[in-house]
Amino acid sequence: MSKTLIEQIEEAVTKEDFEPIAEQLNVEINKRQGVETIRAELLEAAETLAEQGVTSSEELSPDAGDYDLENVPAPEKPKYKGRKLKHIKNGRIFPWTAALAKNRYMQEV
């Protein structure tokens, strides 16, 4: 039988021991804090889960917790729809301005 989350937290000795537990609980740990401070934060999170009925790490679903920002597509930036100028030599495209349009190396697209 596996140990409960609270038992795992109480048995952890170093900050490195807390890292996998913190990942399971979706809690960020600051390595600048002391071991007892980190333990207190993790115990608080584990007790909150225990009140909800989750006592072991197997009961935690892998996608539980905060919204996953890595899988969210970035909103597309609207494209410029006005007049454009193209640099003849390097091909870069710029929005039309009167100052750029006066240059002979710029061509309207």
Number of domains the chain is built from: 2
**Domain boundaries, position 87:** 78-109
What is the model's pLDDT at position 69? 54
What is the model's pLDDT at position 1? 41
- In this structure, the answer to whether residues 49 and 82 fall within a common structural domain is no
Residues 30-35 have a mean pLDDT of 90
Alpha carbon distance 109, 96 (integer Å): 9
Q: Is residue 64 part of a domain?
A: no
- In this structure, the answer to whether residues 39 and 82 fall within a common structural domain is no
Question: Exposed (0-12), middle (13-18) or buried (19+): which is 95, by Cβ within 10 Å?
Answer: exposed
Which residue matches tokens 């930036």?
77
Q: Is residue 87 part of a domain?
A: yes
Question: What is the CB neighbour count within 10 angstroms for residue 107?
Answer: 12
> Which tokens belong to 65?
């917790």
pTM beyond 0.85: the answer is: no
- In this structure, the answer to whether residues 51 and 92 fall within a common structural domain is no
- In this structure, the answer to whether residues 53 and 86 fall within a common structural domain is no
Residue 51 makes CB contacts below 8 A (sequence gap 6+) with none
What is the model's pLDDT at position 64? 47
